[in-house]
Chains A and B, each alone.
Chain A
Amino acid sequence: MIYKVISKPEFATFIDSLVRQNLSYGPRQVDTDGNGQPVYQFREVRSADEIAFDYTVTHSSAKHFLLPFREELSRFAFADGDWEQDIRYEIKPLVLIGLRPCDISAINILDNVLLNGHYPSPYYLARRKNTFIVGMDHLPLPDCFCKSLNHHTVSDGFHLFCSDIGDKYYLSINSSKAYTYLKEFGIGEPTEEDDCKLIERRKLIKQSFQTSVEVSGLPSFLDIEFDSPIWTKWGDKCLNCGTCAMVCPTCYCYNTEDRPDTDLKGSSRQKQLYSCNLVDFAEVAGGHNFRPKNGDRLKYRYYHHYRGFAENANQQICVGCNRCGRACLADINPKDVINDLRMEKESCMTCVSESPRKT
């Protein structure tokens, strides 16, 4: 990693040059919500002016640039009663600008899941290797809890990371590609004052978190509370819409299906992101459903996120962005569910008799 500083006007020139030469996506205001607050999304940008560098959060995550909602895995061509299969891993190089640390952490988690294990995904690998990531630090929203999961900072998984230190950005340059680009612009060595400002900035971010979720020991908690009535309680509220998984930066479960062309001369095998909250997620041929109840499916999502799947990601895969909580139509969010679960256990602790006095 190389550390440099760049003035904000010069940074805008650098970004302008970058996005004019490459297919680029960055945060843009696309609407306002019911309270008049801006709604941001990652959209294609062609100049630095279009990018909202001071954005708060995008409603959907940057996951979809690496894991599109729908992706073609292969094509079949039918002719004379026979068929041939064609598989390609080609994609266009892409620049992503303005990712928050938790979003970059989410991509690191996806790397761990999709590039490690027995069978790395060539589709994901092709996209990941051709994506240039510029990260930016940010002040948290009142309901963000990235700090609880230690994802409020990030040290890997990006090409360039920018910290706002007033009239300059403090740059963490993490690839030769980024350094080569930046050399053409007015970057300088950080002064002692710049270093101090960076430390102050980090302190400010750390202290700005208003929400915390206690996740320590959660894996065993979840195992012990597998049959807790808490799951039925929250399951009864859940609408099984799958929105949480769509906006989540780490949810990667998918479905595959064949889609025949309208002229029936070919067919496309596609994967489509799915949600474990959808009713047929664990249904097998013949109609038997291994998770028929809402609560079973909701619990499964929490299991996946906070207990961790052993094979590919032996870690908690939630990054604490609370997009799922904000998007949930039934007002379910991780903080409330986890606190509910822990409270049940804590109230049980009060029933435990006191230790005998030492004599």
Chain B
Amino acid sequence: MFSKESAMQLPLKIFLATVVLSLALFFFVIYDSMAGNNLQNVPSEAVKGKMVFQKRACIECHTVFGNGGYYGGDLTKAYEKFGSNGLREYLTQPPLLSGAKKKRHIYLSNEEAEEITAYFRFLQSIPNMDWPPRPVYDKKEEPGVK
């Protein structure tokens, strides 16, 4: 029994060392990604907008940074595409959803629309290696979310 025990010690040691080193590397790289000036401060209006975005569960239909629901399109650069006025109009006077004859996009109050616009303005400013990519054959001047 003892010999078997010691024979299995090496794989166990290698396994545990892999666990510890991988965790250490992972958390170090995460720390490095967030430390210093890598992450900008979020303006208070944008924080409020993020809360609206979360409370209304926008992520179930839309993606941000490409993560979320694939039905409504990506909002990472929505501010660039629509601008403050376009966004406000879209959110306070919601149009029909694509493929629908009755169902409209969710309605937001003026205040909520302002806050969420501030959030989109902030999202726009995050340096994310210019994702989403510009369409290869840009047929329209303003491709994007509608």
A binds B: no
